[in-house]
Amino acid sequence: MGLVVAIAAVFLAVPLALLLPARRWRGLLLAAVPAGVFAYFVSLLDRAAEGRPLTWSAEWFPSLGVELALRADGLALLFGLLIAGIGAFILVYAEAYMAGKPGAGRLEATLLAFMGAMLGVVFADDVITLFVAWELTSVTSFLLISFEQEKLKARKAAVQALLVTGAGGLALLAGLVVLGQAAGTYRISAMSAEAVAGSSLATGALVLVLLGAFTKSAQVPFHFWLPGAMAAPTPVSAYLHSATMVKAGVYLLARLHPVLGELEGWRPAVVSVGAATLAVGAFVAVHERDLKRILAFTTVGALGFLTMLLGLGTELAIKAAMVFVVGHALYKGALFMAAGAIDHGTGTRMVDELGGLRRAMPWTFAVVAAGSVGLAGFGPVLAFIGKEAALEAGLEDGGAAGGWALAAIVASGALFTAAAVVLLRPFFGAERAPGHPHEGSAGLLAGPLALGALSIGLALAPGVIEGRLIAPAAAAVAGEPVKVSLKLWHGFNTALGLSALSVGGGVLLGLGVRRLTAPTGRLMGARWFPSGPKVYDWLYYGMQRLARFHTVWVQRGYLRGYIAVVLLTFVGLAWAALVRWGGSIERDWLTPAFYEAAVAATIVAGATTAIVHMSRLAAVTALGAVGFGVAIVYALFGAPDLALTQIVMETLTVMLFVLVFYRLPKLVDRGPMRRRLRDGAIALAVGVTMTVLVLASLGHQQGQPISSYFGETAYLEAFGKNVVNVILVDFRALDTLGEIVVLGTAAFGVFALLRVRRWSR
Amino acid sequence: MELLLAVTVGWLYACGLYLLLRRTLAQVVIGLALLTNGTNLLIFVAAGLVRGEPPLIGDGEEVLAAGTADPLPQALILTAIVIGFAIQAFAMALAYRVYRSVGSDDIDALTTTEPPPPPVAVQTAEGDA
C-alpha cells in the first residue's frame, strides 16, 4: 500500500505545482514530495536485501489476467531512488532556472507527472501496468521537449522523439503480450525462463521487447532523437534525457534479463547494438561544440555501455552495470545542470566562445571538474568503479562478445576523456564570454554540487551502497543472489592499465581535438551522409508524400471512382479464390430449346439497347424487354410465382420510368471516349467473372440443402401445397413482414420526395 | 441452357455496372434496374435449372416430389423482386428531386450538400462611402 501512496503522492503534487504562486520556496516545497518518497524507498531497502520485497496488487482486468501490480525489489528501488532523489534536486534547480518566468509551474507540474510515471515503470510487476506507465513517460517527455512550444525546433524534436519512442512502444506492447503468452503469466516476478525458452513465441517476444528498449534508450540506429531532445529546457535534459527516462530501456533489459537473458539471440543482439551505440555516441561527442549536445552524445554512449554490459550478462558485468547506472546518473545529472548554469551565467553554450570561467564561476567549475572525471572514468568517482568492473568483465569473458566489449570500452574511454577535456576548456585560458560571466544562484548550484559530491563521496565510501543497494539490484538482474564488494583501489592490474592507456590517449586527443576531428566532421556534415535526423526526415516526409499520392489516386471524391475500386477489388479476389479452388465446371447442362435461346437473346439485346441508345423511350422499352424476358425465364423453369410477381413489378417499374423520365432532361453519355472504354472494360471484367462464378457454383453443393425440409413439412405442418408461398407466409412470415415494411418506407420516401415543392431555405 | 443464362447474367451485370459508372443520373437508375434483374437471375440459375416442374405438392401427396424446382431460392427471389422495385422507385424519385433542386442531372454537379444561398446584393466600398 505504501508504494501506491508514494507514487500517488507524486501525481497529487502535479496540481499543487500549477496552483502555487511563483516564489523561490515553491521549488523547495515541491521537492519535499520526492524527498519524502526517497526516504520511504530507503526504508524499504532492507526488506529487498533480505529477499522479501514489498508488493501490492489489485485486480484490473481479471478475465485477461491483467493486474495493477507493484513490487519493490532491489532493482526497482535502485532506479526509484535515482528518480526520486535526482528529481528532488531537479525541482529546486528548475525553479531557479526558470527564475520566475511564466510557465515555470507548468514545467514543474509536468516534471512531477513524469516522475510519477517513471516510478510506475520501475515498480510495475505486471507487464501491462509497466507498459501504461512506459507510454506515460513518452507522453510527458513529448510535453517537456516541446515546452518552449513557440519554437519550431522544439516542436519538431518533440514529435521526432514521440514518434521514435512511440513506435518502439507499440513494438513493446506486442512484445510484452507475446511474452505474457509464452510465460503463461503477465506477472514479471512469476515468469520463468524455462517456460519462455520452451515456447515457440520466445524469439518474437525477444525481438519486439528489444525494439521497445532500444528506441527508448536511444540505441543505434534510433539514437538520433536524444540529441534532438536537447531542445528541452536544461532541467528536463538533466532529468529525463540523462538520468531517468532514457534509462527506462536499460531498466527493461535489466528487469527481463532473468527471463530472456538465456535466449540464444540475447547476447549477440544486445552486445552488438550496445557496443555500436557506445562507439557512435563517443565518436560523435568529440565533434560537437555545444555543451548540451556533447553531453547528449556522451549519454548515448553511456546508454550503449550499459546495454552492452547487460548483453554480456555475466555476474561481473551486471554488477558493473548497476554501479555505473548510479555513477552515470550522478555525474551526468551534475554536468547537465552545470551546463545550464554556464548558459545562464554567460549567455552561450558553445565551448569555442568561452574561456577562463574558473575565476568567475568557481562553483560551477568544481562541478564540471568532478563531472569530467566521471565522464573520463578515471579517478575517485563512482563511475570509475563501474568502468573498472566492466573492463574486468570484458577480460574475464574471453569470448568474442567480451573482446568486442573490451575494445569498445577502451576506444570510447579515450573519446569520452577527450570530450571531458573539451568540457573543461571554457574554464581555462583568457576570460571570454558573450555576456558578463557570473556565478549561478544557490538554487542553480545546490543540485549539481550535491550530485557531484555524491559521485565522489560514494566512490570513497562504497560500503554505504554495496550491500544495501547494489547487491539486491544485481541479484534481481542476475536472478540469483550476488555478493558485491566495491573498492575504489584495486591495485595495479590489467583493467587499470587499459584504463590508464585509454585516458592518456584521450587527454592527448582532447587537446588537439579541433584539428583531429576536422576531416571526420566534414565527412559527417556532407550532404549525402545518412545521419539519423536525415533518414528520419526522409521517412517522415516520404510517408506524407505516400499519403498524398494515395489520397489523390484512391480517395478521389468521385462516386464512380470508388465503385471502380470496389469492382476491381472484387474481380481480383474472386479470381484469386477461383484459382485457389481450381475445380472444374461440370457440364451436364440442359440443351436449350430455340424459344429459350430467343428469350435469352431478348434480354441481352434489351440490356445492350439500354447502354447504347440515348433515347429515353428506347431506354424504357429496353428495360421492359429485359424485365419481361426474365419473367419468361422464371415461367419456363418451374417458377410461376416468380413470373407473376416479376410481370406485375416490371409493369409498375416501366410506368414509373415513363412518368419520371419525361420530367428529366434527355440522356447524354458524359465523359470522353477514353473513360467510356475504361469503364466498359471494368464492367465487362465483372460480367465475365459473374458468368464464371455462376457456372462454377452450379453442381457444387456445400452441405445439405435446407430446401428439403420445406418440401417435407409444407403440407404436413403448414397445410399449403405451394411450397414457395408457404415459405413466404408461414415459415419466414416475419421476413415477409420486414419486406412489407421496406416497401412501405420506400413508398413514404417517394411520396415525400415528389410532394416537396422546394427545399426549405 | 445454363451457359446461355450464365452469359446473360454476366451481360446484365456488365451493362448495369457500366451505367452505374456514368455521370448522368438517369443512366445510373437504369443501371440499377439491370443489376436487380441480373442478381435475381443469378440466384435462379445458380440454384440449378429444372424445366417446367414448379415446387407444388401434387394432389393426394403429402411431401414435395423429387425432381421439382428448389422452392427456397424462389422464395428469396420473390422477396428480392419486390424489394428491388421499392429501391428503383425510390431511386427514381430521388433522381427527379435532385434534378429539380440542383437543376442538372450531371452527378459531378452535386458538389455541395445544400443549395447555393440566394444572391445577395454586393456591397461595394463606394456604397459605404
- Alpha helical stretches, state H, A50-198: 74-98, 104-123, 127-145, 152-183, 193-197
pLDDT at A617: 87
Average pLDDT over residues A625-637: 94
pLDDT at B115: 61
Q: Specify which residues A55 forms β-bridges with.
A: A71
* Least Cα separation, residue B74 to chain A (angstroms): 7
* Per-chain mean pLDDT for chain A: 89
Q: What percent of chain A shows pLDDT beyond 90?
A: 51
pLDDT tens per residue across span A221-252: 898 899 888 888 999 999 988 888 899 999 99
pLDDT at B128: 44
Q: How far apart are CA A358 and CA A426, in angstroms?
A: 8
Residue A598, pLDDT > 80, answer: yes
- The pLDDT confidence band at residue B129, using thresholds 50, 70 and 90, is very low
* Least Cα separation, residue B125 to chain A (angstroms): 29
User: Are residues A296 and A240 in contact, defined by beta-carbon separation less than 8 angstroms?
Assistant: no
The DSSP result for A421-474, as a single string, is HHHHGGGSSS-B-SS---PPPHHHHHHHHHHHHHHHHHHH-THHHIIIIIHHHH
Q: How far apart are CA A318 and CA A473, in angstroms?
A: 9
Q: One-letter amino acid identity for A328?
A: H
Q: How far apart are CA A299 and CA A238, in angstroms?
A: 10
Residue numbers in A near B1 (CB within 8 A): 589-592, 596
Locate A303 and state its grid cell.
546508454
Element at A58 (helix H, strand E):
strand A54-61
Environment class of residue A525 by beta-carbon count within 10 Å: exposed (0-12), middle (13-18) or buried (19+)?
exposed
- Range of A71-80, A233-242, A279-288, A719-728 with top mean pLDDT: A71-80
Whether B33 sits inside 8 A of A653 (CB atoms) is yes
Residue A672 phi, psi (nearest 5)? -70, 165
pLDDT at B127: 44
pLDDT at B113: 65
* Least Cα separation, residue A731 to chain B (angstroms): 11
Q: How far apart are CA A45 and CA A469, in angstroms?
A: 7
Look at phi and psi of residue B63 and say left if phi exceeds 0, alpha if psi is from -120 to 50, else beta: beta
Helix (H, G, I), strand (E, B) or coil at A618: helix
User: Are residues B26 and A664 in contact, defined by beta-carbon separation less than 8 angstroms?
Assistant: yes
Residue B125, pLDDT > 80, answer: no
- The pLDDT confidence band at residue A533, using thresholds 50, 70 and 90, is confident
Chosen from B28, B32, B34 to mutate, greatest number of chain A CBs within 10 A = B34
Average pLDDT over residues A18-27: 84
Whether A664 sits inside 8 A of B6 (CB atoms) is no
User: Are residues A343 and A416 in contact, defined by beta-carbon separation less than 8 angstroms?
Assistant: no
pLDDT tens per residue across span A729-755: 999 899 999 999 999 999 999 888 887
Locate A378 and state its grid cell.
578515471
- The pLDDT confidence band at residue A496, using thresholds 50, 70 and 90, is confident
List the one residue out of A38, A132, A19 whose CA is nearest residue A90. A38
pLDDT tens per residue across span B81-101: 999 999 999 999 988 888 888
Whether A746 sits inside 8 A of B90 (CB atoms) is yes
pLDDT at A183: 92
- The pLDDT confidence band at residue A474, using thresholds 50, 70 and 90, is very high
List the one residue out of A210, A329, A310 whose CA is nearest residue A254. A310
Residue A720 phi, psi (nearest 5)? -130, 145
Chosen from A558, A570, A617, A660 to mutate, greatest number of chain B CBs within 10 A = A660
Whether B12 sits inside 8 A of A603 (CB atoms) is yes
Where do the structural domains in chain B lie, given as residue ranges?
Answer: 1-50+69-108
Residue A82, pLDDT > 50, answer: yes
The CATH topology of domain A559-712 is Four Helix Bundle (Hemerythrin (Met), subunit A) (1.20.120)
Chosen from B37, B88, B100 to mutate, greatest number of chain A CBs within 10 A = B37
Interface of B with A in 81-120 (CB under 8 A): 81-90, 92-97, 99, 101, 105-108, 115, 118
Q: How far apart are CA A588 and CA A572, in angstroms?
A: 28
Average pLDDT over residues B123-129: 48
Average pLDDT over residues A694-715: 80
pLDDT at A130: 96
- 3-state helix, strand, coil split of chain A in percent (to 5) is 75, 5, 20
Residue A5, pLDDT > 70, answer: yes
List the one residue out of B37, B86, B11, B93 whose CA is nearest residue A609. B11
Q: How far apart are CA A38 and CA A45, in angstroms?
A: 11
Q: Helices A442-460 and A382-397 meet at what angle, rounded to 10? A: 40
Residue numbers in B near A698 (CB within 8 A): 2, 6, 45-46, 48
Average pLDDT over residues A338-351: 90
Average pLDDT over residues A586-598: 84
Q: How far apart are CA B129 and CA A589, in angstroms?
A: 87
Whether A694 sits inside 8 A of B27 (CB atoms) is no
Burial A119-153 (b: 16+ CB within 10 A, else e): bbbbbbbbbbbbbbbbbbbbbbbbbbbbbeeeeee
Residue numbers in A near B40 (CB within 8 A): 630, 646
Residue A342, pLDDT > 60, answer: yes
Task: Report ipTM for this prediction.
Answer: 0.87
Whether B21 sits inside 8 A of A705 (CB atoms) is no
Whether B56 sits inside 8 A of A723 (CB atoms) is yes
User: Are residues A358 and A427 in contact, defined by beta-carbon separation less than 8 angstroms?
Assistant: yes
Whether B38 sits inside 8 A of A697 (CB atoms) is no
Q: Specify which residues B56 forms β-bridges with.
A: A722
Average pLDDT over residues A639-652: 93
Interface of A with B in 693-722 (CB under 8 A): 693-695, 697-699, 705-707, 710-712, 714-716, 721-722
Residue A255, pLDDT > 90, answer: yes
- Class of the B1-50+69-108 domain? mainly alpha
Say if residue A530 is preceded by a cis peptide, omega within 30 of 0: no
Residue numbers in A near B71 (CB within 8 A): 707, 710-711, 714, 723-724, 727
- The pLDDT confidence band at residue A529, using thresholds 50, 70 and 90, is confident
Q: One-letter amino acid identity for A75?
A: L
pLDDT at A86: 94
Q: One-letter amino acid identity for A447?
A: G
Q: How far apart are CA A447 and CA A87, in angstroms?
A: 10
- The pLDDT confidence band at residue B117, using thresholds 50, 70 and 90, is low
User: Are residues A270 and A210 in contact, defined by beta-carbon separation less than 8 angstroms?
Assistant: yes
Chosen from A615, A626, A756 to mutate, greatest number of chain B CBs within 10 A = A626
Q: How far apart are CA A719 and CA A711, in angstroms?
A: 12
Contact A535/B at CB under 8 A: no
Using alpha carbons, list the distances in angstroms from residue A321 to A50, A219, A305, A391.
22, 16, 8, 11
Residue A604, pLDDT > 60, answer: yes
Residue numbers in B near A621 (CB within 8 A): none
pLDDT at A456: 92
| Choice between A204 and A552, residue whose per-residue pLDDT is larger | A204
Q: How far apart are CA A119 and CA A107, in angstroms?
A: 18
User: Are residues A281 and A297 in contact, defined by beta-carbon separation less than 8 angstroms?
Assistant: yes
Q: How far apart are CA B89 and CA A439, in angstroms?
A: 87
List the one residue out of A337, A274, A276 whose CA is nearest residue A305. A274
List the one residue out of A232, A231, A239, A274 whose CA is nearest residue A254. A274
Residue A126 phi, psi (nearest 5)? -115, 135
Average pLDDT over residues A428-446: 86
Q: Specify which residues A66 forms β-bridges with.
A: A61
Element at A30 (helix H, strand E):
helix A24-49
List the one residue out of A119, A113, A117, A108 whose CA is nearest residue A40. A119
A265: Cβ contacts below 8 Å, ≥ 6 apart = A203, A206, A207
pLDDT at B114: 64
Q: One-letter amino acid identity for A494?
A: T
First-to-final CA distance of chain A: 64
Q: One-letter amino acid identity for A306?
A: L
A18: Cβ contacts below 8 Å, ≥ 6 apart = A105, A106, A109
- Range of A5-14, A536-545, A696-705, B54-63 with top mean pLDDT: A5-14
Locate A246 and state its grid cell.
532514457
Q: How far apart are CA A45 and CA A41, in angstroms?
A: 7
Whether B34 sits inside 8 A of A626 (CB atoms) is yes
List the one residue out of A582, A592, A575 whose CA is nearest residue A693. A575
Q: How far apart are CA A399 and CA A393, in angstroms?
A: 11
Lowest average pLDDT, out of A391-405, A636-650, A697-711, goes to A697-711
Residue numbers in A near B87 (CB within 8 A): 746
Q: How far apart are CA A154 and CA A296, in angstroms?
A: 16
pLDDT at B122: 58
Whether A611 sits inside 8 A of B107 (CB atoms) is no
pLDDT at B44: 92
Whether A683 sits inside 8 A of B46 (CB atoms) is no
| Choice between A589 and A383, residue whose per-residue pLDDT is larger | A383
Residue numbers in B near A609 (CB within 8 A): none
Q: One-letter amino acid identity for A547?
A: A
